Each structure stands twice: as structure tokens, then as C-alpha cells.
Chains A and B, each alone.
Chain A
Amino acid sequence: MPIPPSVIGTSGPPVTMTVERGRLRLFAKATGQTDPVYVDLDAARAGGHPDLPVPPTFLYGIDLEVPDPFEWITSLGVDLNTVLHATQTFTYHRQAYAGDELTAHSTIADVYTKKGGALEFVERRTRITRGETPIADLAQTVVIRVTGGEERGGEA
């Protein structure tokens, strides 16, 4: 069943996360980061930063700090296993640092189909703020492979 265009413009509740140094260090470890500015407070301060900088793509995760982070897409009747990330953009306004309390405000910006309805796309925009200060604007597109009502085989 196609996603109704009426969802365009709908917003989820804002999500707030205090960025912890330990979490940034885990992100650095996972991404093989070798620049000490991102893990070592002394190196960060020597580089002119007040604390560990939040790396460019970490902001994608602010929105995920809720018990059911994919509810925005599954609540549209979509099976998460059919969803792929298609595009992601970040527009940066201010650098964020460990200790910042960041809030994500997300809205569904568009819904459309391609290939005669075989692929559905959902665009979602997320504004990240620190208090009233804009930090970044994110836009993501996900693509959903529509199975055409075919029963999914398997062992489930």
C-alpha cells in the first residue's frame, strides 16, 4: 500500500541528547579515527576546541536516541527490512562539542514513487539545535522496495 501524501509535513516529537565524551570516543573507535582531537581532551583543547568536537556525521544519531528510533518509518506500514538509505546531506551552522545538549526536530518533507511504484521514497528533514542555536540541518531520503503484495517467504 503506497504511503499517503498526507504524511508530508508531519513531525515527530523532538529528541534531545546530551553528547557524552565516551560516546564520541566509541564513534571514533568504530570509524578508525586516528586524529587525537576527536578522542583526547588535551589534544582537542590544544587545537582550540572547548571540548571534544562532534564529528560531521555523528549528528545523524541524535534522532535515534529514543526507544523505537525507526517508528517514523515503520508507523507508515513499512517493513524496516525493505528500507535502504538513499541520500544524506548535512548543512552546518555551528560546531557542536561533547557536553552539548542537542535536540533533533524532524519532519517528513516528501513522499514519491519511481519505477511505476516499485520504489517508494521518503524524504525527511531534521533540524539540530543547541537551545535556540541552530547547529545543522539534515536531509535524508530512504528508498523502500515495494514487494507488490507478494508474500515474503521464510522462516519467520
Chain B
Amino acid sequence: MTVTWEARGARVGDKLPPLALGPITRTTLALFAGGSGDHNPIHLDLDVARRAGLDDVFAHGMLSMAYLGRLLTDHAPQAALREFGTRFVAITPVNAEPTCHGEVTRVEDGLVTVDLRVELADGTVTLTGQAVFSMEGAKS
């Protein structure tokens, strides 16, 4: 069951419990390629990555955005989600261990805004973003 986040009770400054992920393995990247439909070999094939001048493959940005999506739907019904946007500010290397953070920054006009951030174990911020939920909840 999705945890129901009582959006009406949300206050500016409320933090979502951080979602810590294990290392992003090459297996994770292969599964995510299949599951997401993004088969770009730069995330999968070391030969392609090297030809592009990189030392190794790197994770799909959309994998980290999907983790942020998990953070959101763990704490609010997905049907109340109206907007979800991110900026990919740094590459996520293979074997990185990201943690997703969210903080309520605005509660206004029936909408709750959550600022989002993904950070690696070494402190590198890889994604920043924002989500907006309707306090009215689900749209059928």
C-alpha cells in the first residue's frame, strides 16, 4: 500500500525521510535499460563509452529521476502529483550510491511544492528538482 501523505498537514520545512539506494551496478543499468526502454549503449557498453572518451559507462539520469519518483510515491499518492521536474547537474558513475532528499518549500493555493535533490556518498549533487502535489488529492 502506498503511504498516504496527508498533504493538508504539510508544512514548509517538512523533510521526507531520505531514500538511500545501494550501489548502482552494471546489472542495475542493464535492467533499467530494459525496463525504461532507454537502450543508449553509453550506459551499457564499456567499448562504446571508451570510444566516446570516457573511462567507464555511467548511469541513466532517468534512473535517478525514477528513484526520486519512488521517494515521492512513498509519501504521497501518485494521483495527486501534478508536476515533477529535474535538472541533471552531474553524471552518476557506475557503482555510485545515491540518496534522494525532499523538503516541502511551499504550501499555497491547494498545492504542496517539494524541492528535490539526489546526492552521492561523496557529496556530489547529481540531480536537483521540484515536485508539486495537489492537496485535493487524486484526479480520477
Residues on A facing B (Cβ under 8 Å):
23, 26-33, 35-37, 43, 46-47, 53, 55-58, 60-62, 64-65, 69-70, 80-82, 84-95, 152-156
Contacts and interface: CB of A to CB of B under 8 A. Distances in A.
A129 to B, nearest CB: 15
B70 A91 contact: no
B36 A35 contact: no
B73 interface: yes
A30 B44 CA distance: 14
Interface residues of B, number: 44
A62 B34 CA distance: 13
B21 A35 contact: no
B130 to A, nearest CB: 9
Contact of A92 (B40, B52, B83): B83
27 contacts: A27-B32, A27-B35, A30-B66, A31-B63, A31-B66, A31-B69, A32-B22, A35-B1, A35-B73, A36-B1, A53-B78, A55-B69, A56-B72, A56-B81, A56-B84, A57-B65, A57-B66, A58-B66, A64-B36, A64-B38, A80-B40, A81-B51, A86-B87, A90-B83, A93-B139, A153-B53, A154-B50
B39 interface: yes
Given A31-B63, A32-B70, A47-B1, A26 B31 contact: yes
A29 B35 contact: yes
B86 A58 contact: no
Contacts of B1: 35-37, 43, 46-47
A125 to B, nearest CB: 13
Contacts of B22: 32
